[in-house]
Amino acid sequence: MPRELQEVVFVDGVRTPFGKAGEKGMYAQTRADDLVIKCVRELLRRHPELPPERVEEVAVAATTQIGDQGLTLGRLTALLSGLPKSTPGYSVDRMCAGAMTAVTNVSAAIGVGAIDVAIAGGVEHMGRHPMGEGVDPNPRIVAERLVDESALVMGKTAENLHDRFPALTKERCDAFAVGSQRKLAAAYEAGRVQPDLVPVATRHVEKGWGLATTDEPPRPGTTLEELAGLKTPFRPHGHVTAGNAAGLNDGATACLLASQAAAEELGLPVAMRLASYAFVGVEPEVMGVGPIPATEKALAKAGLGIEDIGLFELNEAFAVQVLAFLDHFGIADDDERVNPWGGAIATGHPLASSGVRLMTQLARHFEEHPEVRYGLTAMCIGIGMGGAVIWENPHHADYGKDA
């Protein structure tokens, strides 16, 4: 029988405040799975029009899938979030693009009509589970020169980008980082970030009970002079510092996706429509260039050009990686369309959770900018990949006309 494809829409997204990894961080003694469960419960609370039994899949990403981030996290999240026992779930791992992949996976299932409503998200507790904990890379990777050993250390891959693109100076990276901090501070001041933050109760044997309500990593007021004096841990006299790269963080995200038909049936709001997406592989030694070919492929699939993109949410794993993207597409370092509320350098980057943060923020930008029809969420991915997802703004006058 002929199969009718369905349009996929992003309904809503939330996240926990992001914390600093380590014993001094606010989530030091909070379980990773409890963070993402809190996000799923908040989505269900926000949308009483959605019967829980209509959620047909839960996909949850984590980069380090052990301990409280292991054991088929999506299924356990579904069970512990109050969804019916009939709701299935699974785990996803594509390193930093875990949540982004969880979104595209369930979107593909919705698109072909296998399901109508799903929840996707991600969590990373880098304090409990540092990236690479317990892994055993095949020695052939280095021994047979399949890749340079620097490919296994993300900070070294960022230094490699500086080698490849000399125009991407440390000074430009530091200036971009200062801008990220400034924009996030302004967004907080205007009350734009807070509505999508889920307060999380925390407990510490020494500090007692607490309540996480705001991001812990931001350093408002950061100056170029301060960043200029920071150490370069990945290379003597290098370019990458703790100031122009995302830190080590804990946090979780979740979002609700549905078919256009199901959203209309249930009265779910439509925040944006999925237009296209792409994942690509690149040289692992310079994984930061990944968003460039991924974006080119996603644009081609959508029949669009970079000039059609009016808003960009680019994950700031490293400033140099974002600047490589901007230079390639001829976009200025301080273009107002790029990361209007700052990015991971200021907010934090709990690896597998970050993709949904980008999407949730893009959806909010769409509300404020009905003149923008298309937006992009994109990120670099460890071991040499890039991911990009293009979304359409339902507030635009021409929304859906070419769908």
Collapsing DSSP states into helix, strand and coil, what is residue 175? Answer: helix
Residue closest to 380 by CA, chosen among 284, 304, 277, 256: 284
Q: Report the DSSP beta bridge partners of residue 276.
A: 390
Active-site hit among 129, 162, 349, 365: 349
* Residue that the structure tokens 């070294």 belong to: 156
Q: Is 96 a catalytic residue?
A: yes
| Distance, CA of 72 to CA of 91 (rounded, Å) | 5
The 10 Å Cβ neighbour count of residue 142 is: 15
Q: Is 39 a catalytic residue?
A: no
Q: Is 365 a catalytic residue?
A: no
DSSP element (H, E) containing 388 = strand 385-392
Active-site hit among 39, 96, 173, 255: 96
Q: Angle between the 319-328 and 291-302 helix axes, to the nearest 10 degrees? A: 40
Token pair, residue 19, equals 């914390």
| Distance, CA of 330 to CA of 312 (rounded, Å) | 14
| Distance, CA of 26 to CA of 37 (rounded, Å) | 17
Contact (Cβ atoms closer than 8 angstroms) between residue 349 and residue 116: no
Contacts of 300 (CB under 8 A, 6+ apart): none
Q: Catalytic positions, please?
A: 96, 349, 380
